[in-house]
Structure 1
Amino acid sequence: MPKRVVSLTDLQIEKAKKQEKPYKLTDGGGLYLLITPTGGKLWNLKYLFAGKERKLSLGQYPAVSLAEARRRKEDAQNLLADDQDPAAIMSKQAKKQQQTAVVEAKQIELESTFEHIARAWHNKFFSTWTAHHATRIMTWLERDVFPHIGGMDIATIEAPDILAVLERIANRPALDQAHRTRSHCGMIFRYAIGTGKVKRDPTRDLFKILPPVNHGHRAAPTDPKEVAALLRAIDDYSGSYVVQCALKLLPMLFCRPGELRGMEWAELDLDAAEWSIPAARMKMKQAHLVPLPAQAIEIIKTLQPLTGGSKLVFPSSLSDTRCISENTLNTGLRRMGIEKHELSSHGWRAVARTLLHEVLGFTPDAIEAQLAHAVPDRLGRAYNRTTHIQERRKMMQQWADYLDGLKAGAKVIPLHKAA
């Protein structure tokens, strides 16, 4: 009579102690628990396949419980019933599971890197920035940050890691860019805090650790005689006519260079003498209305035969789907002999702000509204595109007339000096 095997119990397994030599606790059907001299408890299954005795490892107790070991034994017996070797089949399954686990672990690791989270942050806020600003941020990150800390788990990044990145940028030298990079990294870490990836922002430990930036002022002459000379130089510009028109409109409309470069024909209503810039293209994300003086309309109309078939008023010479670059405008100034310390394309805004108030006597409220600065009015109401619109229409035409007078050599006495 075959020896009757008594099934194991959890209590019996728990009480099993290690001995000098390995021993077995059998459960029946070929399933047994091997107790090693070091105290390990290993499940094994002994079976016959193709007339040969074989052994299959089923895992270690307690990770694999008694009930789970019996379930795995049944799976093996089902394979045997189908004339399949459990060791071969189950080892393949285990290998596949292991590979899947490795892939999943790598994916989790990838999703925790600074670069992955930075790109997720960028995608989330992309629509709130201008396309130029969004592209510039990613370019900075890819050039200056990702090569050094992009592959690190964001939770392991400390202040010294970020400081090393900032110092490389500052030593280029690009101190202003180093400050901007610290700010962007801080935004990324705060996004990571919100998504549960980290608990704190290490960039806060770097506050005021970099030397301050002396921004100074953008080159912007406010002497009417100097302004007149610059305007005459633009009239004599011998480069691209499209670029010359942009250079002429900048002092007349004193908008941000990026707003002018991206001007679209659909934004213009020449009959109403208006240019409506959508919020998406404005720095402050507020739609802006620019009253057009007669001189600006005349310049724009001369461009219609040249670029009217394009979406853009000032398309690039390389592609009509892209506008001319800011470098194109500044290069145009340099070609005329106007040096960087004399004027930048952005400097016309400061020229207009000063002369409109001190010479032409317009109110700061109207000037700030035309500059698209999001300053509430005296009643605390938020900025809107038609604020002071009637005064601005008058102001823009008088400003264009004033610039024409400067070029012609007219003498305009500053109101404040006259008083």
Structure 2
Amino acid sequence: MPKIVKNLTDKQIKSALNAHKNLEIKTLIKLADGKGLYFVIDKKGCSFWRFDYVRPISRKRNSISLGTYPEISLSEARDKQVEYRKLLSQNIDPVVEKDRKKEQARFHLDNTFKLIAEEYRKTEELEPSTQKRNAFVWEKLYLSIGHIPISEITATQILDACRLYEKQGKTDSARRMRSKASQVFRYAIALGLCQFNIADQISGILKTGTKTHRAAITDAEQLGKLLRSIDHNFGRGEITVDYALKILPHVFVRPGELRSAKWDDIDFEKRLWVYTPAKTKNQTALQHIVPLSNQVFQLFKELYEITGGSDFCFVSMRNSSQVISDSTINKRLKMYGFENGETTGHGFRATARTLLDEVLKFPIERIEQQLAHQVRDMHGRAYNRTKYLDERVTMMQAWSNYLESLKSSCT
């Protein structure tokens, strides 16, 4: 007949603890509560709970700790015993399950949104200026969901984070936050860290702000006034910035592409500047060709006498290891009397596109091609980078001549 074990009481546990204190020679005390649950007091007086059981597969006896007393009470120890016995009924070893949960917890701690995002950011091939612009977005995402395991983040949590900035009128920031979160989730899915891109679930919920184009001058008289201001102030500031301001209206490339221009890319013999735009480097890697008009060719020759010993054309005069900063051109335009909103360095692109089309009557396809935009022929094929180059050489010289005429006609 099996031995009947009476359940322990709190009174018995406290009596056992007092008795252990009074023992001259400390011994191990083990009190059974039934069904494998034991209250143990070791020789040092530490008290804890243990559950003895037979392992499902090996059929060997084993023991697992349920925690210390009084942190784990008698009723809590019994609850754990019931939980473990239920696992055993399903042929699950409590020790294996306990280790699995520990590993899962560790996995969650090691795979928070911030940690995965930091890994993802290392895979991005972005220009320093783009990384700097994105830093704000990452900072806001980290503050709101950075500490949460990526597999536990909900669409609502991302939406709430984005709407904090949407309510402030920063709709572009909110949409970029969602976009960056989506990129991280796609990366996490590829690594097997989560199953769903929950950031995509809110893509149509956030507001779309009113798109404002970069300011540009399209009035001939105003453009002539700006060009005269650039000439009038030439030599009064940092010389490489002065040359950048004189060249940019003629070539109408993106300001960042002009600032990072290298002498190795300037072919004085063929009068061409050939480079790969950073904006398309990761997609097409196609080179862009800028024919140098007589005016631009002369300006680059003059600049070569100043910075030809450097890799970069527009190297900073204050720090020879860097090019002129991304905000320098806009700041200089403001110094010339053109307030924010009247024009920007990037605005010269819109200026050229409008006036080359409406005033000089060049084909819009050639203009778009010179702007380094994807232009396709009637069959939907992208134009080869060298196609219609002779026409573009003519167009660029006509554009420079037009700019010169505006300066001379402006009073």
Match of 2:54 in 1: 62
Match of 1:161 in 2: 157
After superposition, give the CA deviation of every residue in 1:224-263 in whole Å (9 maximum; x if it has no partner): 1111111111112232221111111111000011111111
Query: Whole-Å Cα distance in 1 between the matches of residues 3 and 387 of structure 2?
Result: 87
Identify which of 249, 252, 257 aligns with 2:250: 252
Match of 1:184 in 2: 180
After superposition, give the CA deviation of every residue in 1:269-294 in whole Å (9 maximum; x if it has no partner): 11111111125564664321111112
Matched, 1:234 2:230: yes
Query: Whole-Å Cα distance in 2 between the matches of residues 316 and 305 of structure 1?
Result: 15
What value does the CA root-mean-square deviation take over the aligned residues?
A: 3.5
Q: What is the number of equivalent residue pairs in this alignment?
A: 347
Any conservation in 1 of the 2:137–2:173 contact (CA below 8 Å)?
no
Q: Give percent identity, aligned residues only.
A: 35
Match of 2:332 in 1: 332
Match of 1:207 in 2: 203
Within 5 Å, which residues of 2 pair with 1:10-409?
19-20=5-6, 36-40=32-36, 60-63=52-55, 108-124=107-123, 126-127=124-125, 129-137=126-134, 139-237=135-233, 238-278=236-276, 280=278, 282=280, 285-409=285-409
The letter for the 2-side match of 1:20 is K
TM-score using structure 1 length:
0.73
The letter for the 1-side match of 2:120 is W
Instruction: Report the CA distance shift for 1:141/1:102 in structure 2 as closer, same or farther (over 3 A).
Output: farther
Query: Whole-Å Cα distance in 2 between the matches of residues 67 and 362 of structure 1?
Result: 88
Query: Whole-Å Cα distance in 2 between the matches of residues 179 and 348 of structure 1?
Result: 27
The letter for the 2-side match of 1:113 is T
Query: Whole-Å Cα distance in 2 between the matches of residues 17 and 365 of structure 1?
Result: 96
Question: Cα offset for 1:110?
Answer: 3.9
Any conservation in 2 of the 1:250–1:257 contact (CA below 8 Å)?
yes
Instruction: Report the CA distance shift for 1:60/1:377 in structure 2 as closer, same or farther (over 3 A).
Output: farther
Any conservation in 2 of the 1:114–1:151 contact (CA below 8 Å)?
yes
After superposition, give the CA deviation of every residue in 1:174-215 in whole Å (9 maximum; x if it has no partner): 321221121111122222222222222222332343332111
Query: Whole-Å Cα distance in 1 between the matches of residues 275 and 257 of structure 2?
Result: 8
TM-score using structure 2 length:
0.74
Query: Whole-Å Cα distance in 2 between the matches of residues 217 and 205 of structure 1?
Result: 29
After superposition, give the CA deviation of every residue in 1:78-131 in whole Å (9 maximum; x if it has no partner): xxxxxxxxxxxxxxxxxxxxxx9999767633431111211222222x23x334
Any conservation in 1 of the 2:240–2:316 contact (CA below 8 Å)?
no
Question: Cα offset for 1:396?
Answer: 0.8
Query: Whole-Å Cα distance in 2 between the matches of residues 18 and 397 of structure 1?
Result: 105
* 1:37 aligned counterpart, secondary structure: strand
Any conservation in 1 of the 2:216–2:342 contact (CA below 8 Å)?
yes
The letter for the 1-side match of 2:5 is Q
* 1:398 aligned counterpart, secondary structure: helix
Any conservation in 2 of the 1:282–1:288 contact (CA below 8 Å)?
no
The letter for the 1-side match of 2:395 is M
Instruction: Report the CA distance shift for 1:21/1:361 in structure 2 as closer, same or farther (over 3 A).
Output: closer
Question: Cα offset for 1:345?
Answer: 1.0
Match of 1:75 in 2: none
Instruction: Report the CA distance shift for 1:236/1:104 in structure 2 as closer, same or farther (over 3 A).
Output: farther
Instruction: Report the CA distance shift for 1:306/1:174 in structure 2 as closer, same or farther (over 3 A).
Output: farther
Any conservation in 2 of the 1:263–1:313 contact (CA below 8 Å)?
yes
Query: Whole-Å Cα distance in 1 between the matches of residues 4 and 306 of structure 2?
Result: 92
Question: Cα offset for 1:321?
Answer: 2.8
Query: Whole-Å Cα distance in 1 between the matches of residues 115 and 407 of structure 2?
Result: 55
Query: Whole-Å Cα distance in 1 between the matches of residues 3 and 225 of structure 2?
Result: 99
Instruction: Report the CA distance shift for 1:69/1:183 in structure 2 as closer, same or farther (over 3 A).
Output: same
Gaps of 5+ in 2: 9-29, 41-48, 63-98
The letter for the 2-side match of 1:327 is S
The letter for the 2-side match of 1:270 is F
Which deviates more, 308-317 or 105-114? Answer: 105-114
Query: Whole-Å Cα distance in 1 between the matches of residues 148 and 359 of structure 2?
Result: 57
Instruction: Report the CA distance shift for 1:293/1:111 in structure 2 as closer, same or farther (over 3 A).
Output: farther
Query: Whole-Å Cα distance in 1 between the matches of residues 185 and 107 of structure 2?
Result: 18
Query: Whole-Å Cα distance in 1 between the matches of residues 267 and 340 of structure 2?
Result: 34
The letter for the 2-side match of 1:290 is V
* 2:114 aligned counterpart, secondary structure: helix
Instruction: Report the CA distance shift for 1:58/1:333 in structure 2 as closer, same or farther (over 3 A).
Output: same
The letter for the 2-side match of 1:273 is R
Any conservation in 2 of the 1:18–1:39 contact (CA below 8 Å)?
no
Query: Whole-Å Cα distance in 1 between the matches of residues 107 and 366 of structure 2?
Result: 54
Any conservation in 2 of the 1:369–1:388 contact (CA below 8 Å)?
no
